[in-house]
Amino acid sequence: MGEVMSRWLAFRKEMAEFTAIALGNQVHGTEVMSLEGGRGWTYVDEIDGWITTTPGTLLAVTVADCIPVYLLIPKRGVCLLHAGWRGTAAGILERGTAGFLEATGAPVSAVIMHCGVGICGDCYEVGREVMTSCGLSAPGPGPWLLDLRDHLMERAAALGLTQVTSSAWCSAHHGADFYSHRASKGRDGRMVAYLGLLPRASAG
């Protein structure tokens, strides 16, 4: 616990321009919470996504194979989602995007989306229940390979998002640089994905 706290404190020190930091106890669900201002840490149970339109608020999720999904509307707001297969299948991208558009009052065409570092399709072997839960076909006896980032990008296109990119890095086979829960058989720690609007004074 001491090492974990020291790392979080070091992270906080590096992000000193942000007065508020949001973090949730993620449960692979679809709950997305808005945080508008405040000071210090905000920690909430059973939250897998965050939205803010307030400069100086930093959103954070932890990942180690799941996909961090970054949504941005420049100068208006940011949204950060934790998308594993369960959350993806249950619609966290759809729910997060809807909440983000409501919070910003922007059209879907204004949203920029990026799928961050996570496990790639060559490394993510899954069973039939994962494929069918995501609405994908599962021919043959299996197992099957699932590229969550590709699937999230397909879902984004169905929502009307047109400015979408994806990381080429894999948390599993680029394991020297990243943590992977699957590749390490649960021994690895977690990485932090974060996104925020710089305070206006700092943004110049």
Query: What pLDDT digit, counting tens, does each position of 163-173 carry?
Result: 999 999 999 99
In a domain, 138, yes or no: yes
E runs forming strands in the chain: 20-25, 32-34, 40-45, 49-52, 57-63, 67-73, 77-83, 112-115, 125-126, 144-145, 163-166, 191-196
- Counting the structural domains of the chain, the total is 1
- For residue 33, the cross-strand partners are 50
> E strands of 101-178, at which residues?
112-115, 125-126, 144-145, 163-166
Which tens digits make up the pLDDT trace of 173-202? 998 888 888 887 777 788 899 999 988 754
Query: What is the residue range of 102's domain?
Result: 2-199
pLDDT of residue 2: 66
pLDDT of residue 5: 73
Predicted confidence (pLDDT) at residue 92 exceeds the cutoff of 70: yes
More confident: 51 or 12: 51
The pairing of strands 112-115 and 67-73 is antiparallel
Looking up residue 145, the CATH number of its domain turns out to be 3.60.140.10
CB atoms within 10 A of CB 144: 18
Residue 204: inside a domain:
no
Integer CA distances (angstroms), 50 to 23, 78, 109, 131, in order? 8, 8, 20, 26
Q: What is the mean pLDDT of residues 29-38?
A: 92
**pLDDT value of residue 55:** 94
The pair of three-digit structure tokens given for residue 49, joined into one six-digit string:
């996504």
Evaluate if residue 203 carries a pLDDT over 50: no
- What pLDDT does 87 receive? 97
Residue 109 resides in a domain:
yes
